[in-house]
């Protein structure tokens, strides 16, 4: 490590190189974009993404935006249709995020998209952001670089105040030009939906698409499970606070759980557990199991977000 953890450093070539090295090691690096500063981690690593949620102190796993350095890079992450191609040609690089269907072979962490079958992608219009992503050679998951509940940072000093040593390195690229988060458009269904307004306006989008955008609730607001796409919850019933598996049940363990079918973290580490959560729920949501029993997860730190997601997976669902 060339600089102490949490250092704010001017985004020189040497600093970008160090940031890229840190990202490849699964560490978090804050970087400027044209909208706000992002808290970046390797989008293909469940562990790096779990560290993002831990650093932000978010009580929930919201899906994150995956940042790329060129439009072609999204082709192996998501399925790109004609509408997406038109919007990318018109507004990328720029403050526009597109929600697209996840490819079956997508390398993006399931935790990054909070278990959804869609992934949000964006190519920022900022040399430091693109330089860092290109040097790391990775898609980079990045929410705004602030603790949960605080306002989004538009200067490197804001990031340092909010996150400090929770981030390995803070690249200083000066103040952000746009200052509000990117527009988010959902193209995963037949109707294009505006999920979050931003600098690329409804009128600009409708002009390029040649169709009206549907309205959706602000996507930063908590959304009910019914509003979310499939893969949000396992299709099998989920039972919490389990000590052992019942008839037909798989047991998802935590800590010392000798009878576990799979264990979120044998060592009882909540970051590791968050990293494994979605992949393990999926792995157990199949025959021969008819239900999933989950061991007790402590409520502190990332445990809050893990329990939030498990409670919603265990809640009664419409249609059984």
User: Taking CB within 5 to 8 Å according to partner kind, which of Mg ion, ligand TXA, none is near residue 113?
Assistant: ligand TXA
C-alpha 294/C-alpha 274 separation (Å) is: 14
**Token couple for 319:** 């249609």
Partner touching 219 among Mg ion, ligand TXA, none, CB below 5 to 8 Å by kind: ligand TXA
- Least distance from Mg ion to the Cβ atom of residue 26, Å: 22
Contacted by 88, from ligand TXA, Mg ion, none: CB < 5 to 8 Å by type: none
Q: What are phi and psi of 156, to 5 degrees?
A: -60, -35
* Least Cβ distance, residue 249 to Mg ion (angstroms): 37
Count of residues that interact with Mg ion, criterion CB under 5 A: 1
Using CB under 6 A as the binding rule, the residues of this chain from 200 to 229 that contact ligand TXA are 219-220
> Which alpha helices (H) appear in 76-126, and where do they start and end?
82-91
Q: Tell me the closest approach of the beta carbon of residue 255 to ligand TXA, in angstroms.
A: 30
CB of 93 within 8 A of CB of 178? no
Pick from 96, 34, 93: nearest CA to 65: 96
Among 144, 182, 183, 219, interactor with Mg ion by CB under 5 A: 144
Peptide bond into 93 cis (omega under 30): yes
Query: Which residue of 83, 126, 196, 309 would you call a contact of ligand TXA, by CB under 6 A?
Result: 196
97 binds ligand TXA (CB under 6 A): yes
Kindly state whether residue 35 participates in binding Mg ion, applying the rule CB under 5 A: no
Query: Which region, judged by CB under 6 A, interacts with ligand TXA, from 16-24, 156-164, 180-188, 299-307?
Result: 180-188
CA atoms within 13 A of residue 294's CA, in its CB half-sphere: 26
Q: Reduced to 3 states, what is the DSSP secondary structure of residue 130?
A: helix
CB 6 within 8 A of CB 145: no
Cβ nearer to ligand TXA, comparing 27 with 34 = 34
- Looking at the Cβ atoms of 149 and 258, the one nearer to Mg ion is 149
Three-state secondary structure of 4-69: CCCEEEECCHHHHHHHHHHHHCCCCEEECCCCCCEEEEECCCHHHHHHHHHHHCCCCCCCCEEECC
The neighbour count for residue 300, using CB atoms within 10 Å, is 8
Indicate whether 195 belongs to the interface with ligand TXA (CB under 6 A). yes
Judged by CB under 6 A, the chain residues 27 through 56 that form the site for ligand TXA are 33, 35-36, 38
Q: Is 313 helix (H, G, I), strand (E, B) or coil?
A: helix
**Which of 7, 45, 144, 265 touches ligand TXA by CB under 6 A?**
144
Give residues in contact with Mg ion (CB under 5 A): 144
Give residues in contact with ligand TXA (CB under 6 A): 33, 35-36, 38, 62-65, 95, 97, 99, 113, 116, 118-120, 122, 124, 142-144, 181-182, 184, 186, 195-196, 219-220
């Amino acid at each position: 490590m060339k600089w102490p953890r949490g250092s704010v450093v001017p985004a020189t070539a040497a600093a970008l190189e160090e940031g890229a090295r840190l990202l490849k090691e699964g560490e978090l690096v804050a970087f400027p974009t044209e909208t706000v500063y992002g808290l970046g981690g390797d989008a293909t690593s469940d562990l790096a993404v779990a560290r993002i949620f831990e650093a932000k102190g978010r009580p929930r796993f919201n899906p994150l935006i995956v940042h790329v350095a060129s439009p072609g890079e999204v082709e192996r992450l998501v399925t790109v249709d004609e509408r997406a191609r038109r919007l990318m040609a018109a507004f990328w690089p720029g403050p526009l995020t597109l929600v697209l269907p996840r490819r079956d072979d997508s390398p993006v962490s399931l935790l990054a998209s909070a278990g959804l079958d869609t992934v949000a992608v964006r190519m920022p219009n900022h040399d430091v952001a693109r330089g860092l992503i290109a040097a790391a050679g990775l898609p980079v998951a990045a929410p705004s670089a602030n603790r949960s509940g605080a306002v989004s940072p538009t200067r490197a000093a804001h990031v340092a105040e909010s996150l400090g040593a929770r981030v390995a390195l803070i690249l200083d690229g000066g103040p952000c030009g746009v200052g509000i988060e990117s527009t988010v458009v959902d193209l995963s269904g037949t109707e294009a939906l505006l999920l979050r307004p931003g600098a690329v306006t409804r009128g600009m989008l409708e002009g390029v698409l040649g169709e009206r955008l549907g309205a959706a609730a602000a996507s930063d607001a908590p959304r009910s499970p019914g509003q979310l796409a499939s893969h949000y919850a396992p299709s099998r019933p989920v039972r919490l606070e389990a000590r052992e598996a019942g008839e037909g049940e798989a047991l998802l363990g935590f800590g010392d759980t000798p009878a576990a079918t799979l264990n979120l973290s044998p060592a009882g580490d909540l970051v590791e557990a968050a990293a494994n959560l979605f992949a393990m729920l999926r792995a157990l949501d199949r025959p021969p199991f008819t239900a999933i029993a989950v061991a007790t997860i402590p409520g502190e730190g990332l445990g809050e977000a893990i329990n939030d997601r498990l409670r919603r997976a265990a809640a009664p669902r419409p249609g059984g």
